[in-house]
Amino acid sequence: MAKINTAVLQKMKQQAEKITMLTAYDASFAKLFAEQGVEILLVGDSLGMVLQGHSDTLPVTINDIAYHTRSVRAGAADAFVIADMPFMSYGTLEQTLQNVMPLMQAGANMVKLEGGEFLLPTIKALTERGVPVCGHLGLTPQSVHVFGGFKVQGKSNEQADSILTQAQALQAAGIQLLVLECIPTALAKRITDALTIPVIGIGAGNVTDGQVLVMHDIMGISSGYIPKFSKNYLQQTGEIRSAISTFVSEVKSGIFPAAEHSFN
| pLDDT tens digits, 175-223 | 999 999 999 999 999 999 999 999 999 999 999 999 999 999 999 997 6
Fold observed for domain 6-261:
TIM Barrel (3.20.20)
* Structural contact between residues 180 and 208, judged by C-beta atoms closer than 8 angstroms: yes
pLDDT, tens digit (0-9, with 9 covering 90-100), for 131-150: 999 999 998 765 554 544 55
What percent of the chain has a predicted confidence (pLDDT) above 70? 94
46 is in an annotated binding site: yes
Count of other CB atoms within 10 angstroms of residue 189: 17
Amino acid 174: pLDDT: 98
Catalytic option among 181, 239, 250, 260? 181
Domain assignments of the chain as residue spans, ordered by start: 6-261
**181 part of the active site:** yes
SS (H, E, C) 144-173: HHHHCCCCCCCCCHHHHHHHHHHHHHHHHH
230 is in an annotated binding site: no
31 is in an annotated binding site: no
143 is in an annotated binding site: no
112 is in an annotated binding site: yes
